[in-house]
Amino acid sequence: MHWGKAWPWISTVARLGLSAVFLVAGGLKITDLDESARAVNAYRLMDYDTAKVIGAIQPFLEIAVGLLLLIGLAVRLSAAIGALLLVVFIAGIISAWARGLQIDCGCFSKGGDLAAGRTAQYGWDIARDVGFLLLAGILLWKPRTRFSMDGLLMGER
Partner 1 sequence: MSKGKRDRSAAKRIVEQQKAAERRRRVTIWTSVAVVGVLVIAGLIGFGVLSKKDSTDASKLTTPTVAVDDGTAFAVGTGPVTVDLYEDFMCPICHEFETQAGDTITTLIADKKITARYHPVAILDRASNGTNYSTRSAGAAAAAAEGGKFIEYHKVLYDNQPEENSDGLDNAKLIELGKSVGLGDAFATAVNDKTYDTWAGKVTDTFSSRGYTGTPTIVVAGKQLQGSNGSIPTAEQFSAAVTAAVG
Residues that bind partner 1 (CB under 8 A): 32-35, 37-38, 41-42, 44, 47-49, 51-53, 56-61, 63-65, 67-68, 73-74, 77-78, 81, 102-103, 110, 112-117, 149-150, 153-155
Minimum distance from CB of 25 to partner 1 (Å)?
Answer: 14
Residue (1 or 80) nearer to partner 1, CB: 80
Minimum distance from CB of 98 to partner 1 (Å)?
Answer: 17
Write the Ramachandran bin of 151: left for phi over 0, alpha for psi from -120 to 50, otherwise beta.
Answer: alpha
- Inter-residue contact 102 to 125 (CB < 8 Å): no
Residue (19 or 78) nearer to partner 1, CB: 78
Helices (H) and strands (E) in the chain, counts: 6, 2
Residues β-bridged to residue 112: 104
Residue (56 or 126) nearer to partner 1, CB: 56
Q: Using CB atoms within 10 Å of the CB of residue 117, give its burial: 0 to 12 exposed, 13 to 18 middle, 19+ buried.
A: exposed
